[in-house]
Amino acid sequence: MIAQPRELFSEEKVNKKISEMAVNILYQNIGIRELNFITVLDGGRMLAEMLQNRIRIANKFVDINNYSIKLESYSGKESTGLVKIKKDLESSIEDKEIIIVEDIVDTGGTMNFLINYLKNQKKARSIKLASLVSKPDRRLPEYRNIKIDYLGFEVPDKFIVGCGMDYDGKFRELNYIGIID
């Protein structure tokens, strides 16, 4: 049996932080009429919904396009960063300015793959990254240059759940961020 997660950031803290991220996205994109989000499924879905709700309330004039992609990362023993696309984007993002929405950046392998894929194969004009959580201590040296433009929380090198993040399919729907000890 898995122990219940220990609370790291309360629901209230998470809500407040996501509101700040939404304000930041609007502020950094003043004058832009269209925001193009690519949600990384399944983990990024909760953050994407919460950000978009807040952005819609704050600015009724910005169009939100929501794309999604489902990835599978084989961490393996050596954490090779091998990533497979399980469900690709359904429409073109060519020449668009993209904001990726992810739950957590760990080694950085998944984001490195996705950023290169969107740039080189899908011809995105520009790519920014929003992630609820980052585990900087786990970043592989070759991925240290990955920039998280809109970040919620930095966490220690522990297994994190809630707000989209799961442990074997569990705890994804929690409204707080917790640690599995």
Instruction: Determine if 148 is a binding residue for ligand IMP (CB under 6 A).
Output: no
User: Strand, coil or helix: what is 121?
Assistant: helix
Note if 149 is an active site residue.
no
Sheet holding 6-9, edge to edge: 6-9, 177-180, 159-161
The number of angstroms, rounded, from the C-alpha of 109 to the middle of its chain's C-alpha atoms is 13
Piece in contact with Mg ion (CB under 5 A), picked from 36-44, 72-80, 128-136, 140-148 = 36-44
Residue pair 57/26 in contact by the 8 Å Cβ criterion: no
Residue pair 99/37 in contact by the 8 Å Cβ criterion: yes
CA distance 61 to 97: 17
Piece in contact with Mg ion (CB under 5 A), picked from 23-31, 38-46, 58-66, 155-163 = 38-46
Query: Which among 106, 157, 168, 181 is annotated as catalytic?
Result: 106
Toward ligand IMP, which CB reaches closer, 43 or 152?
43
Instruction: Determine if 159 is a binding residue for ligand IMP (CB under 6 A).
Output: yes
| Count of residues that bind Mg ion according to CB under 5 A | 2
CA distance 106 to 96: 26
Toward Mg ion, which CB reaches closer, 124 or 165?
165
Instruction: Determine if 134 is a binding residue for ligand IMP (CB under 6 A).
Output: no
Q: Which single residue is written with the structure tokens 């950046």?
A: 105
Instruction: Determine if 52 is a binding residue for ligand IMP (CB under 6 A).
Output: no
Contacting residues for 12 by C-beta, under 8 A, at least 6 apart? none
CB of 118 to ligand IMP, least distance (A): 15
Which of ligand IMP, Mg ion, none sits in contact with 107, Cβ below 5 to 8 A by type? ligand IMP
Piece in contact with Mg ion (CB under 5 A), picked from 9-17, 30-38, 97-105, 148-156 = 97-105
Residues 85-124 that bind ligand IMP (CB under 6 A): 102-110
Pairing between β-strand 159-161 and β-strand 6-9 as defined by DSSP bridges = unpaired
Which residues are part of the catalytic machinery? 106
